[in-house]
Structure 1
């Protein structure tokens, strides 16, 4: 766990001090996408190999849908409220 926080902290410091130039930022953005896709693929493989998860998919699917809808609605409500508080009622973005 310490390694994860060390790498996260190092990345934060590099970003905070602006040590990456424009080309480095573009490479970073592309590599993030590639590694994220690889992570999602590996998670899919792990889920597909787990028989318990496969057999529980019908009940998990409903819960996941409910969680997704509630999270999205909560996010929209929070943005709406914060916009009203910080931008004022009469201002338009």
Structure 2
């Protein structure tokens, strides 16, 4: 676990100090995409090899959709409430 925090901390330090130039930032972006796709692929392989998860996908899929929709609705509601409380109206100054 500490290696994760070490890696994140090192990345934040390098990014904050600006030690990577524009070309390095572009490469970093490409590498992030490649590693993310590899991670998703590996997760898919793990899920596919677990027969119990595959059999439960219809039930899990419905719960996942419900969770995603409720999360989006909750986020929109919180942003709406906070924006009406803290942001100025167009006509008022």
TM-score (norm 2): 0.86
Per-residue deviation, 1:19: 1.2
Which consecutive residues of structure 2, in runs of 5 or more, have no partner in the other structure?
none
Aligned to 1:72: 72
Q: Which moved more, 1:2-11 or 1:80-89?
A: 80-89
Over the residues paired in the alignment, what is the CA RMSD in angstroms? 1.6
Residues 1:50 and 2:50 aligned together? yes
- Kindly tell me: are residues 75 and 45 of structure 1, through their superposed partners in 2, closer, same or farther at Cα, counting changes over 3 Å? same
Aligned to 1:8: 8
Which consecutive residues of structure 1, in runs of 5 or more, have no partner in the other structure?
none
Partner SS for 2:18:
coil
Q: How many residue pairs are counted as aligned between the two chains?
A: 91
Per-residue deviation, 1:26: 0.5
